[in-house]
Amino acid sequence: MDANDTLALINQLREILSAAESALINKSTSVSLAPESRVGLPSDILHSLSDSEKVDLLAKFTCHCREITLSEITRHTLKTNDIVTLHGGPGRSDTRSLSINGSGPIGLARREFLFLLVLFRHRKSHGQFLSMEKILNLLILLKEEELGAGFASFWIDPTPEDVFRIVRELRAKIAEAGHNAKLLENSHGAGYRLSTASCNVVVEYDGQDRGSLWLSDDSYS
């Protein structure tokens, strides 16, 4: 593998940085990269790397990830550098949980899960706060356009009071689990956000993930 191929691969890794998983970000010594199907690496280039090239490339990528993460934390004045994973689905029989820095799962109620799903999806592409109006609109849009008729009678009219209660209860759960409750950050008049770097955010959603569609509208940025 020549220098040009290596440079091209490094540039490609930078382009898919926003999708890098937390395990890869913190990894520094393994000779293997995450499966190419999960990080978008072309298999022919990946398999052409020797072990030493993989170690070198992974070290460069890890360093770059950390630089981007620290830059984002500083730029947006984020409160944490927590790695957070939202897992599950909103159905009655679905399991739902929040994991912070790989610790044991924090169980979630259905409304808590949907609220966090909105914040997680927004945080993947935006650093700004999400206003209460936009949160409520996105909750309704999520129900109507993604979850379908089966959720028509669930949480019919989300209100600010609902959101206030959900945030209060989630912060209590996060603090009880020994983590920083400021992960759910609010700013008076601006709204709420997930206060960690975007590459720390992982959504494992048991459903059709159409977040890229309903968050692509400029009115929700």
Cβ count within 10 A of residue 150: 11
> pLDDT tens, 56-90?
766 676 676 677 677 777 777 788 888 899 998 88
SS3 144: helix
| CB of 192 closer than 8 Å to CB of 119 | yes
Domain boundaries, the chain: 3-76, 84-220
The pLDDT of residue 184 is 96
Q: Using DSSP bridges, classify how beta strands 201-205 and 84-88 pair: parallel, antiparallel or unpaired.
A: parallel
The pLDDT of residue 93 is 77
- Strands, sheet with 96-100, edge to edge from the N-terminal-most edge strand: 106-107, 96-100, 84-88, 201-205
SS3 150: helix
Mean pLDDT of 34-48: 48
The pLDDT of residue 35 is 37
Q: Could you give the percent of the chain with pLDDT greater than 90?
A: 33
Provide the residue type at 63 as one letter: C
Helix (H) or strand (E) holding 111: helix 110-125
The pLDDT of residue 219 is 37
Cβ count within 10 A of residue 120: 19
The pLDDT of residue 11 is 55
Q: Using DSSP bridges, classify how beta strands 191-194 and 84-88 pair: parallel, antiparallel or unpaired.
A: unpaired
> pLDDT tens, 81-101?
888 999 988 887 788 999 999
> pLDDT tens, 174-201?
999 999 999 999 998 899 999 998 878 8
pLDDT of residue 148 exceeding 70: yes
Between 140 and 127, residue with greater pLDDT: 140
User: Measured between alpha carbons, how far apart are the two ends of the chain, in Å?
Assistant: 41
Q: What fold is seen in the domain 84-220?
A: Arc Repressor Mutant, subunit A (1.10.10)
Q: Using DSSP bridges, classify how beta strands 84-88 and 96-100 pair: parallel, antiparallel or unpaired.
A: antiparallel
The pLDDT of residue 124 is 76
Assign 205 a pLDDT band (cuts: 50, 70, 90): confident
pTM over 0.95: no
